Structure 1
Amino acid sequence: MTTSQSTAAHADLARSLTLAEAGSGRPVLILHGGGGPATVAGLAQHLSRTAHTLTPVHPGWDGTHRPDWLTGVDQLALTYLQLLRTRGLTDVLLVGSSLGGWTAAEMAAGDTSGTVTGLVLINAVGIRVEGEPITDVFALDPRGLAEHSWYDPDRFQLDPATLSPDQLATRQANTATMRALAGDPYMHDPTLLPRLGAVTAPTLVLWGEHDRIVTPAYGAAYAAALPHARFHPVPRAGHLPHIEQPTTTFAAIDAYLGHS
């Protein structure tokens, strides 16, 4: 595609996104990870008390359409930047979990208009850290995925036998979409780490201390690459601290935002 065709394609996709909105105030774009939009529903509900939250479904998740050209997180990030431009939003806070954190980091690194003024990364993937490989989640069975993802896997492990055929099909389609966007190179963009040095937005990097998909050492390296970042570990939590330890996680975000 030419540059103008690419811009038009991203604009068309931005207009067709499945998007939930709530609250009023500063715009907050909340980006989910591989588990889908349900994994950030509680986070969106909390933030909507003091902000205008926008929570999209990434194209290809939960039965939504993914165009053939959308084959990387960098393209997803451009689509969301186009969404912000189309909506005329300014002073935007990006909040991203896992794959959504990667997308948010790509957006912040690629924002040339000063639209993004805050960043919260929650157990984000997206960079390569020497000595801290990202676990291949595609190779794990349900029990292995639970043990790598949760501090308390017995509480949160999902039994596929309890799912309906439609639910199983949705999960399989979501996984296929994640492979298409982040499977090669696996869960990172080799160019992102050095580009993070240009991000000027104040950043909170939240990390479940017991994450075995991306370790706290990986998270600390992520924070170190961002000039204005603070690293905040969350005890007794794994890859999704906003689900496993919501009170602690929300309190850290509120403190970052200057809310009591």
Structure 2
Amino acid sequence: MDKAGSLHTSVPAPPPRLYLPRNFSCSACLYGSLAEQCKGGCSPDGDAAPPPVTRKPPALGDLEPVLFGPPPPLLEPLFPPQPGASPGFAERVRRHKVRLEWVRAEPAGLRGAVRVLNLAYEKAVSVRYTLNAWASCAEVPAAYQPAGPADGLTDRFAFLLPLGAAAAEAALEFAVRYRVAGAEYWDNNEGKNYRLHQQGQGSGSAEGSVIGHPASHPVCLILLKQSPAPARCWICA
């Protein structure tokens, strides 16, 4: 017998090579089920778990400064802040169609609620305010509150006046406007407007009068001490 042939027949053939993805280096994946994810983080498609990302902490000069100190002062109303809790409020709403219900000063601004008589489905409520005695003004809409009063006759609207830091150095005045069924109604605190000032300041004795406009106008108020000569109403100008 040929030794070479005998040796060739006695050596078993090598097993077939197993071709796996290059990223499969986990022994649990090699000998276990490829359909399950191993504890080492390897995925069945052969992608190894990504290495943890390390971030360099920011330098001291890159950090934003944190200011410590007392919060900015809030505005203090010069009227009862919860008119809705006073006796006869519901009757005043029925008689005047719109009335301020409550206000609350917050760091974000002045938050409040308004009650209006439900005269029609389509209605709009807004709040007009000023920080400079009506030299300029702004107006923000109030949002209807679905969970309204239980009387079935009135609706509630909520508003937020985004005053910012400017309100800490000025006095705020506002009035409520209600438009419904082609008519317009105002709540201006019986002609005095709703006024607020910074806490700690005196209430002052600033008296104003309407110049160039009927005294029954709902919003217009120009302070005489700030206008040495008669001036036209900012609404009529």
Q: Which has the higher helix share?
A: 1
State TM-score, norm by structure 2: 0.23
Q: Which has the higher strand share?
A: 2
Highest RCO, 1 vs 2 (Cα 8 Å, sep ≥ 6): 1
State TM-score, norm by structure 1: 0.21
